[in-house]
A and B are shown apart, each in its own frame.
Chain A
Amino acid sequence: MTPAIEMKGITKDFASTRVRANDHVDFSVEPGEVHALVGENGAGKTTLMSILYGLIKPDSGEIFIDSQKIRIDHPNDAIQHGIGMVHQHFKLVPSFTVAQNILLGMEPTQAGLLNQQQENELVAALAEKYNLPVDPTARVRDLPVGMQQRVEILKVLERKAKILILDEPTAVLTPQEVNELVTVIRGLSRLGYTVIFITHKLVEVMSVADRVSVMRGGKMIGTKKVSETSIPELARMMVGREVLLRVKKKEMQRGDVVLEARDISISDVNGLAAISHVSFQVHRGEIVGIAGVSGNGQTELVEAISGMNSLDGGEILFKGKIIDEASVGERRDMGMAHIPEDRMVVGLNLQTTLDENLIVSRYDDSQFSRYGFLLMKTISEFAEKVVRAFSIAAARPGEGIATLSGGNLQKVVVGRELSGDPAFIIANQPTRGLDVGSIEFVHKTLVEERDKGAGILLVSVELDEVMALSDRILVLYRGRIQGELDAATATEEEVGILMAGGNLQDLKYAQRADQQELRS
């Protein structure tokens, strides 16, 4: 079979950063297959696909489509050749309707006039054809992220693409939306479409792809059939060494209670109840995992504990003292650390230097300032220490951090939060968007802190992460604790049913019914 796409010897240097993003990369995709392209952040996946889509010009190399050598200088050329791309950050007009977005620039007109009715019908027919139901009249800004992505896919299909490039399509989705997307991709592949799927989540690769190509440091490491490979092997190819997918944990040394929530209630930005009457304790030396589907009150809970938002009722005790009135700074001075879910906007200030990012929670210390003046020398020594201790490869004291990769940025956050021996750490989605190597690092570091005697509240929507790290699991559902489980004995089914709002009794009945069915 002739490959649908063949890229040969693609090389691209970025002069401004002196990085060889693609180094003689060969890449080929069979027609009708789902081909995963994996690699760590900065491995060159997106560069390679941007070259294929005409967004970047390669320094050298050739591209063939159906064995025909072609030139792609501009996305228009790519679309001409049936290549469509769905970007990680959607390119939709929020105030337009679904139909207006999908038909943008190719609207059917009569005597130069638009016909809204006809547009809606066209899009409804399109959605029907590909079995991707959408409401053509809905405004894009009102749609959930998963729906917006569907609009992007329809937009590409409407432009007669036969080859779809999806750039990290699952990074922004909830687990349910991921499942729906997997079904969509499988359906497209059955209809004869070729899908290239960029990701660094290996579980998804195994569930959706036919073949997988691995990139590392701008080079193509190899291509495998998914049926003939495994997650550990792919992880090894991606990182270039053996990776611990599950951290090893020592026996828990449980200490005193370090943080206690007593009957707390919190409202969200719209004034609606996000957390209602929740109580729990976190001890020193233990990791308490908060599992739950995103949007069940996790953000509000974390903001209230860290002091970024206030409580409606109840009280929070830290080291035995009520801290309801304490400011963020006072809580931090008492030994609270916080790894926030959004490192780009909350956890870091990308407009300033590494040094200034590292001192935000402790510039008031006598170590870093005296008589109101910052002690620049100590600060840059501290920055150097953090860079070394957390091996933040690309970061240099005194320089900006905007160009660092996601993994390195998270290392900056983790480095800042964990230097200074915190007594209690909130880790909210600490590995979101990170590659295997960085996830391993963050997990290892958190477990080390636990072993040193810190209490950790781990909030994550990734079930695997909660299961792997926690000593105790609390499941949050619609602002209440749906159940508490001992992580050593809990099963994924148990956590799953609690996350969906059920309770453990239901599960037992279901299992008993299953067994009876088997017997009869």
Chain B
Amino acid sequence: MNNQRWKKLLDAILVPVLAVLSGLVVMGILILTLNKPVLESYAILFSNGFGCKEYGNCIFLTTLERATPLILTGLSAVVAFRSGMFSIGQEGQYLLGAAAAAWLGYAIHLPPILHAPVLLIAGMLVGAAYGWFPGVLRVKLGVNELLSTIMLNSIAALIVEYLVQFPMRADTSAVAHSPVIDESAQLMSFFPGSKWGVGFVLAVIAVIVVYIYLWRTKSGYEQRMAGQSRRFALFGGILSDRAAIRAMLISGALAGLAGAIEVMGVHRRIMTGFSVGLGFDGLTTAILGQVHPFGVFIVAILFSGLKLGAQIGLQLNLNIPRELGGTIIGFIILFVAAGKLYEENIVRAREWATRRRSSRLKRESG
């Protein structure tokens, strides 16, 4: 039984691990064509993505900080996908959640014990509302949630751009941004000079809560069954429509929370070009993480590290263009998408191994 469970876990992580390794091999080839030292570049990639030079001043802490919104948008996608809703609206929900938190951060003034929680909740509510909308469209009118969420992403981006340019604009500087939020609304960081802090802890809590919700609660069970087979859910007496809308609410809330945390913990304000595709990266994170909360957690950190290492480390130390980081991640996604290739070869390798073992046993006994 226990053995079985280990095997299952191994199967789940084997494909992503092999995909990452393949991506790194391709990176080596690319670097070779640039006439740069390959081995050294690997070392720099890892020390700049996951390394730690001295206590309290770790690049790895920056990686964790960068991973925080990715974890949450990834979880948002996991909840939607597991419930049969192919929502890619994380980007829009993230942006609106961030705008709500940024506005309440300077517009109202509350004691610290209240201010931060109010902002977090506001971000979640706004995100949830923005997720509820495509959910209802889907259930009541049969509008494909994939299309509606794409459109809503564009709408949200334009709304936030307008807000930042006009009503929320703090000054006439070249880059439009909102006023800095009150200190009472900011999320604490653990080390001076780093922005890794309470937001990350919230993300970790979210990972655990989402896992428990999906696999240990009645509501989560309903959502997963409705997501896997609507006919089966109908037959068993599960109200699929309600489960779908609930999934969109939770998914939206998680993405909105990501936006709020990014404002409160990192930027302390919202500015033009606030999202650098974090919503879409969350989507990728969810898929690479096998649509599982723990998978999302690991992949988000890995991703952020690779990005930092490739973008900053390789560029500063070896003069390798930062786009290479994006290229490697692109390759990794490609290799995961080609996961079947690995699965077939894993099965073949296993069959070969058992055949060898059995023929050896035969020889020994014979």
Contacts and interface: CB of A to CB of B under 8 A. Distances in A.
A345 B231 CA distance: 7
Contact of B232 (A16, A332, A360, A398): A360
B3 to A, nearest CB: 12
Contacts of B354: 15
A238 B229 CA distance: 35
Contacts, number: 76
Interface in A330-372: 330-332, 338, 340, 342, 345-349, 351-352, 356, 359-361, 363-364, 369, 372
B234 A308 contact: yes
What's the dominant secondary structure at chain A's contact region?
loop
B259 to A, nearest CB: 28
A361 to B, nearest CB: 5
Contacts of A16: 347, 350-351
Interface residues of B, number: 26
A346 B350 contact: no
Contacts of B222: 363
Contacts of B234: 308, 328
B242 to A, nearest CB: 11
A448 interface: no
A345 B217 contact: no
B237 A332 contact: yes
Contacts of A376: 216
B218 interface: yes
B106 interface: no
B351 A346 contact: no
Which interface residue of A342, A352, A360 has the most chain B CB atoms within 10 A? Answer: A360
Which interface residue of A329, A338, A373, A399 has the most chain B CB atoms within 10 A? Answer: A373
B9 to A, nearest CB: 14
B235 A308 contact: yes
Contacts of B217: 372-374
Contact of A360 (B1, B236, B347, B355): B236
Interface string A211-226: 0000000000000000
Given A328-B237, A329-B237, A352-B225, A346 B216 contact: no
A329 B238 CA distance: 7
A82 to B, nearest CB: 31
A440 B321 CA distance: 71
A376 B228 CA distance: 20
Interface in B3-52: 4
A372 B351 contact: no
A327 interface: yes
Contacts of A332: 236-237
24 contacts: A16-B350, A327-B237, A328-B235, A329-B239, A332-B237, A345-B229, A345-B231, A346-B231, A346-B235, A347-B235, A349-B228, A351-B228, A351-B229, A352-B224, A352-B228, A360-B232, A360-B233, A360-B236, A363-B222, A373-B217, A374-B216, A374-B217, A398-B1, A399-B4
